[in-house]
Amino acid sequence: MLFPTFFYSSAYSIPYEKLFEEGKRGVLFDIDNTLVEHGAPADDRAAELIARLKKLGFGICFVSNNKEPRVKSFNDALGATYVFKAGKPGAKGYLKGCEKLGIKPEEAVFVGDQIFTDIWGANKAGIKSFLVKRIAFHEEIQIHIKRIAEFPIVFLFRLICGKRCFLKGQG
């Protein structure tokens, strides 16, 4: 339940076109340290990615444990939809995101930077999970503590899964 489906260096390096060809229709994203630095507003890079995904035909939903003002302001800049106070790693927020997009969990992928919230929750909801490297190292202390606990899981994942979990060497 703690292993991601795939591990990539960045949310910006995932082959979304391939996922669309495979029948995926929605991308659920964590925000902080997945698309932008913790607490940062939506930037040009995030806007370009979201526009590209919409053009492909994907529905986009930001699923975050943050309070509504943070998630709403990020979303408003990008014109998608969102779930705030999602209760990750519980499955409810992910399923609500799928419902907002009008898709089934098997038609979605989730992209996030933390195992104990993002990946675990997506896996519980039956959604293909993509772990990405965090964008920045400055985070709240409780997140740093979780990162220490995540290290052996990521190490085991990479050891067991090998190259087959890293499409085109992007991991």
Model confidence over 51-66: pLDDT tens digits? 999 999 999 999 999 9
Nearest alpha carbon to residue 132 among 39, 38, 34, 3: 34
What's the fold here for domain 6-169?
Answer: Rossmann fold (3.40.50)
Separation between Cα atoms, residue 73 and residue 75, nearest integer Å: 5
Contacts of 81 (CB under 8 A, 6+ apart): 59, 60, 61, 62, 75, 97, 100, 101
Taking 50 as the pLDDT cut, the residues of the chain under it are 167-171
The tally of CA atoms less than 13 A away on the side-chain side of residue 151 is 6
128-137 pLDDT per residue, tens: 999 998 887 6
Model's pTM, two decimal places?
0.85
Q: What is the pLDDT of residue 67?
A: 97
With beta carbons less than 8 A apart as the criterion, state whether 124 and 105 touch. Answer: no
Q: What is the pLDDT of residue 15?
A: 95
Q: What is the pLDDT of residue 167?
A: 47
